[in-house]
Amino acid sequence: MTSALPYVYSVPHLGNFVGSVLPADVYFKYLKMKGDDAIFICGSDQHGTPIELAAIKKGVEPDKLADELHATVKNLFEKYHCTFTHYGKTHTEENREVTYGVFNELYNNGYILEREDMQAYCNIDKRFLTDRFIQGTCPYCHKRSARGDQCDNCGRLLEPTQVIDPFCAICGKSDITFKKTKNLAFELNKLQSELKEFIKKNGKHNWSKDAVNKSLSMIKEGLKPRDITRNMKWGFPVPLTGYENYVIYVWFDAPLGYIGITKEWNSKRWRDYWQNEHTQLVQFLGKDNTTFHTIFWPAELIGSRLGFVLPFTIKESQFLVSKQLKFSKSQGVGLNMRTALEILGADYWRFALMYMYPENADSEFTEHGLEEIVNVIMNDKIGNLAQRVLKLSKSNKFLAEGEVSAKDDANVKKIVKEYRNAFDKLQLKRAIGTVVKLADLGNRIMSSKEPWTLVKKAREDAKVEKQTRKIFSELLAITYALGILLYPFAPKASAELLAYFGIKSEPTLEMLDQKVKPNLEAEPKPIFQKMTGKEIEKLQKYA
């Protein structure tokens, strides 16, 4: 499984994180809990115009800047408890080998042609403007969010000549002319029927409806050849005579980075996953990346005839938006992954963002919404329940001693089944909802049975003691199960809860069937806390 490779010209904001990497990590943790043979491959997308543009503005070499940003982002993901099998990068020898291998096969198979087209040229900076070097208004949605290759708002693929009122991203001027230049183009039109068949076949396997419809609509309109070379310096040089001053387009080598990064991880085993008919490739991405993953990337794999597996599942997310707070990918500006950790710990962000996950529609991020998730859902419903159960058990050891198991409780088993079903269907919001549902069950038992009122009578009446022991056992089983089911969403809290039951390893679903004994000597501590006024004040800095 993969997540869309973060484009590391700056620190990802929370919308970027919840759009691909976070749900992918949550799902991967579930697969490992389940015991599946799964690997999670991700890495930094390092080529392309934004890196070169940023490097020009900073006065440094693109490779130096790309590697510095790669290290920064990799470190941030580690702080958010992401457990990639391997987090690599695209500017490596392994990815160069994979890219050249696919490029050469596409060229030999007749899917790459040389053509002349019009390219923007800045008369101020005296250079051709590729991709993000040219910006302006989108001809489809009419938002001022178009670049020379794509519109950030509607996700449509664009040609530089389509951008309305274009201007140069370097100097900001509109002194642009279009000049003839040669390029190599990938003839997507020749693979149109195979792509349509692929989407109709694999679109049934948990693909987002929007991903299927958007892709089939593009095919219906008719695919056209698309340039895969750029007249610039940063990237893999084109391996053909006559193209010494060209590099391969970033969107050609970036998706191939999934394979290249796997090869970087293990030079002997990478083919076991990528050229194996039994492999299921599950890809997480934001809706602005859809067509590259459903059209461009599969076309590369199909046309190469190298036997690489095609995407089995495309999990597309919508956008997390905020009218109150500024989300910005600009370095050090806005509520991004780095500044967010100055407000709350990683578990809080992981849980809250997945609770807001824009799974099927855009989701609104608000200060009030975050505060409610942290204070009411995480602290009051889950954290307080666990602490109350553990404290009550410690204070009344004679009622809590002995082994407990989640499989002995029909209500818990039912919720666990729903949790597994939600994950297996890639319904991640429903999955986190079942964790809350389990906490709700525990809180209902607490409020309806009031076990603390039965303690005194239980010491004197054997029948009441038996009934009370059963209540304690059920509450401890729920607490133990919460420790396991929380793991994909809040791994630190999960580990803290499971430590009370003697579990020090990463949890598995098999553990739900095991009998465990609570440590009745340990002093229970809160796994979550409410947001303080100071934390809310810090959050409001980004309004």
Rounded to the nearest integer, the mean pLDDT of the chain is 94
Residue 150 pLDDT = 84
Cβ–Cβ under 8 Å, residues 406 and 416: yes
Residue 523: Cβ-neighbour burial (10 angstroms; 0-12, 13-18, 19+): exposed
Which pLDDT value is given to residue 332? 52
At residue 131 the predicted structure's pLDDT band, cuts being 50, 70 and 90, is: confident
pLDDT over 90 at 406, yes or no = no
Side-by-side strand order, sheet with 134-137 = 146-147, 134-137, 164-168
More confident residue, 130 or 215: 215
% the chain with pLDDT above 90: 81
Cα dist from 437 to 184, 421, 442, 450, whole Å: 55, 14, 9, 19
pLDDT in tens, 84-119: 999 999 999 999 999 999 999 999 999 999 998 888
Q: How far apart are CA 380 and CA 493, in angstroms?
A: 14
Taken in order of first residue, the domains within the chain and their CATH numbers are 2-111+187-337 (3.40.50.620), 366-513 (1.10.730.10)
Q: Look at residue 374 and give its three-state secondary structure.
A: helix
**Residue 482 burial class via C-beta count within 10 angstroms: exposed 0-12, middle 13-18, buried 19 and up:** buried
User: What is the average pLDDT across 147-164?
Assistant: 85
For residue 323, what pLDDT band results from cuts at 50, 70 and 90?
confident
For the ranges 49-53, 66-70, 84-88, 323-327, which has the lowest average pLDDT?
Answer: 323-327
Q: Label residue 464 by pLDDT band (50, 70, 90).
A: very high
C-alpha to C-alpha distance for 459 and 454, rounded to whole angstroms? 9
- H or E element that contains 274: helix 270-274
For the record, the structure tokens of 307 come out as 């036997």
**Overall average pLDDT of the 368-396 stretch:** 97
- Bigger pLDDT: 63 vs 543: 63
C-beta of residue 403 within 8 angstroms of C-beta of residue 516: yes
Q: How far is CA 305 from CA 192, 275, 302, 311, 422, in A?
A: 15, 11, 6, 15, 35
The answer, yes or no, to whether residue 331 has pLDDT greater than 50, is no
Average pLDDT over residues 323-342: 78
Mean pLDDT score, 208-222: 93
Which whole number is the average pLDDT over 461-489?
96
Which pLDDT band, with edges at 50, 70 and 90, does 24 fall under? very high
Higher pLDDT, 443 or 410: 443
CA gap 191, 357 in Å, rounded: 34
- pLDDT attached to residue 327: 78
The span from the CA of 29 to the CA of 27, in Å, is 5
**Can you give the pLDDT at residue 316?**
94
